[in-house]
Amino acid sequence: MSDGSLIERIRAFEAASRVLDPAPAERAALREPVLRYADAFLDALASAPAFVGGSDGGAGLLDEVIGEEGRGLDELLALLAEQVDRPGLNPASGGHLGYIPGGGLYLSALGDYLADVTNRYPGVSYASPGAARLEHQLVRWMADLAGYPATAGGTLLSGGSLANLSAMAAARDGRGVRARDIERTVVYLSAQTHHSVAKGLRVLGLGECVVRLVPLDPEWRMQADALAGMVEHDRRQGLRPWLVVASAGTTDTGAVDPLDALADVAAEHELWFHVDGAYGAFFLLTERGPELLRGIERSDSVVMDPHKTLFLPYGLGAVVARDRRALELAFRELGPYMQDAVVEAGAEPWPADLSPELTRPFRGLRLWLPLMAYGVAPFRAALEEKLALARYFHEEVQRLGFEAGPPPDLSVVTYRYVPQAMRSGGVAPAPEVVNRINRRILEDVNRDGRVFISSTTLNGVFTLRFACVTHRTHLETVDRLLASLAASAAAVERERALPAAAGR
Ligand SMILES: *Cc1c(COP(=O)(O)O)cnc(C)c1O
């Protein structure tokens, strides 16, 4: 029998920690300022800057100590508004035209709220058969989108980086690549392959594989015949061609590699054919998508990022393997404390059997809720809108005197300004002068901040990028960017016309 003092201590601790489990009235008191904050944020979004520059943003947080005593929510939300939700990029804004992931569906936030409140355990079917089934169903929807057979399976991860890593682990084990083979094993990428692939290879211990960069055509697409030649050459050298990673929408230029032709090469040489569709795979929902991505159904694995082209808030990427057993080979493990949670023979594997993760958020709900509540149609329309806006921007920016890259496959356009006097027939453009002018245009647009753009370097040339991916980006947003570019280009021309600029 415990003495009374232990019971007293237990009671005291219980009372002191009670605040962690608020009663109904306390919950309402917590919810109300948070909802007010969220609504104010969303209501102001259309007129809020897409970018607030300066490197000292958030520095005020460092003065706020994490102390023993709690503080009022209003005070903390004010801190959040000033120190976190103002400085830097505002990816929730439709004016975010710089990078691929942005947006954030409100209904996903409500799904997250429910997932966090109920805290179901999706990794193990025994713990939450419903959560596991719901996630399997989402994966099946994506497998169908890719045109995969019934053998397919996959899992929901935090994003495209972990999804690519997981696909490569499946490729490794699906093809029996062992540690002692690594230095003779060859991976085929392109200079436009997303850097998460190289990172994933390193994390998997495959960083010492031979990496070949397959040449690109003038529209930044991997050349399938060049791949075939490289594989044959490597074979003759006694190397082991293993994996080709195609991009179904590169991040940099939005180009879609010729998937069907690459699938032919992969099939002939028994390469694992992985398609990184983190950005582009959901364009399969559009009218042009299936033709543009033809061959994706022949891949061994595919990655899709709902937090990009299904407009979800950050934290959801998916990997699907044509034969889910490859993912099981890579990831299935058990601990003795899991003995109650047996998988019956023939049953669907647990999500955790196909994933590097075990305990994780029930992230399926943030996708299931909007997909089921809205249906697929508005997603299709939003993606068609992005494709059309990219074509519109590609035409209009050239009307302003900018040079544009190839007509967009998807929703990224590359472009740069060449001053009038340097265009064809004029003075030959000096590369460093043109680069400087474009850097200045980027800074002008982002200093204004109503829209945010980014740049890249293509074959050594500083190039501006238009990446149109959020559900809040519409025609007015693109017109705002065009106006901002026109103003900056006009300023460039004015300054060049000044006598002081002669000789520049
Ligand atoms: C964004 C992206 C990734 C990485 O995905 P994260 O979700 O940012 O981890 C991989 N590949 C491509 C093509 C991408 O656009």
What pLDDT sits at residue 343? 64
Tell which wins on pLDDT, 421 or 437: 437
The arithmetic mean of pLDDT across residues 119-138, rounded, is: 95
Our answer on whether the CB atom of 190 is closer than 6 Å to any ligand 1 atom is: no
What average pLDDT score do residues 180-202 get?
97
- For 72-93, what is the mean pLDDT? 95
The model's pTM is: 0.95
Tokens of 253: 């230029």
Q: What's the mean pLDDT when you consider all of the chain?
A: 94
Q: Is pLDDT of 422 > 90? A: no
Q: What is the pLDDT of residue 420?
A: 87
Percent of the chain with pLDDT over 90: 88
- Residue from 450, 354, 8 nearest 156 by CA: 354
* Residue 428: pLDDT over 80: no
Q: Is 414 in the pocket of ligand 1 (CB under 6 A)?
A: no
Q: Is the CB of 193 within 6 Å of ligand 1?
A: no
Distance separating alpha carbons of residues 128 and 317, to the nearest angstrom: 21
Is the pLDDT score of 95 beyond 90? yes
Say yes or no: CB of residue 170 within 6 Å of ligand 1. Answer: no
Report angle CA 157, 158, 160 to the nearest 5 degrees. Answer: 85
Rg (CA), the chain: 26
Q: What is the mean pLDDT of residues 24-33?
A: 97
**Residue 414: band (very low, low, confident or very high) from pLDDT cuts 50, 70, 90:** very high
The predicted structure's pLDDT at residue 498: 82
- d(CA 435, ligand 1 centre) in Å: 27
Q: What is the mean pLDDT of residues 12-30?
A: 97
**Per-residue pLDDT at 101:** 85
Whether residue 160 has its Cβ less than 6 Å from ligand 1:
yes
Q: Ligand 1 centroid vs 78 CA: distance in angstroms?
A: 32
Centroid of ligand 1 to alpha carbon of 194 (angstroms):
7
pLDDT greater than 90 at residue 68: yes
Phi/psi at 453 (5° precision):
-125, 170
> In the prediction, which pLDDT does 309 show?
97
Region of residue 260 (left: phi > 0; alpha: psi -120 to 50; beta: else)? alpha
201 CA distance to ligand 1 centroid (A)?
A: 15
Structure confidence by residue, pLDDT tens digits, 250-308:
999 999 999 999 999 999 999 999 999 999 999 999 999 999 999 999 999 999 999 99
Mean pLDDT of 429-441: 92
pLDDT score at 221: 98
What is the structure's pLDDT at 467? 97
| Helix (H/G/I), strand (E/B), else coil: 21 | coil
Nearest Cα residue to atom 10 of ligand 1: 160
User: What does the pLDDT read at residue 347?
Assistant: 74
Q: Whose CA is nearest to atom 12 of ligand 1?
A: 278
- Alpha-carbon distances of 113 from 85, 108, 117, 358, rounded to whole Å: 20, 8, 6, 21
Task: Tell whether ligand 1 has an atom less than 6 A from the beta carbon of residue 279.
Answer: yes
DSSP 216: B
What's the CA-to-centroid distance between 49 and ligand 1, angstroms?
Answer: 25
Question: 73 pLDDT band (50/70/90 cuts)?
Answer: very high
Asked whether 254 lines ligand 1 (CB < 6 A), one says no
Does the CB atom of residue 282 touch ligand 1 within 6 A? no
- Is 163's C-beta closer than 6 angstroms to any atom of ligand 1? no
Q: Which of 161, 245, 310 to mutate to test the pocket of ligand 1 (most atoms within 8 A of CB)?
A: 161
Using CA atoms, how far apart are residues 396 and 196, in angstroms rounded to an integer? 33
Q: Closest residue (by CA) to atom 8 of ligand 1?
A: 160
The residue to mutate among 189, 203, 279, having the most atoms of ligand 1 within 8 angstroms of its beta carbon, is: 279
- Cα(45)–Cα(34) distance, integer angstroms: 17
Q: State yes or no: pLDDT of 502 exceeds 60.
A: no
- Residue 196: CB within 6 Å of ligand 1? yes
> What confidence score (pLDDT) does residue 344 get?
67
- Predicted local distance difference test score (pLDDT) of residue 214: 98
Nearest alpha carbon to residue 318 among 109, 125, 161 = 161
User: Is residue 276 lining ligand 1, measured as CB closer than 6 Å?
Assistant: yes
> Separation of 469 CA from ligand 1 center, angstroms?
13
Mean pLDDT of 232-248: 98
pLDDT of residue 2: 65
194 lines ligand 1 (CB under 6 A): yes
pLDDT at 74: 95
Ligand 1 pocket residue status of 37, Cβ below 6 Å: no
The per-residue pLDDT for 488 is 97
pLDDT at 496 over 90: no
* 345 band by pLDDT with thresholds 50, 70 and 90: low
Query: Residue 55 half-sphere exposure, CB side, CA atoms within 13 Å?
Result: 0
Helices 431-448 and 475-497, interaxial angle, to 10°?
130
* CB atoms inside a 10 Å sphere around CB 268: 11
pLDDT at 423: 81
pLDDT at 346: 65
DSSP of 240-265: EEEEEEEEBS-TTT-PBP-HHHHHHH
Q: What mean pLDDT comes out for the span 38-42?
A: 97
Does ligand 1 have an atom closer than 6 angstroms to the CB of 247?
yes
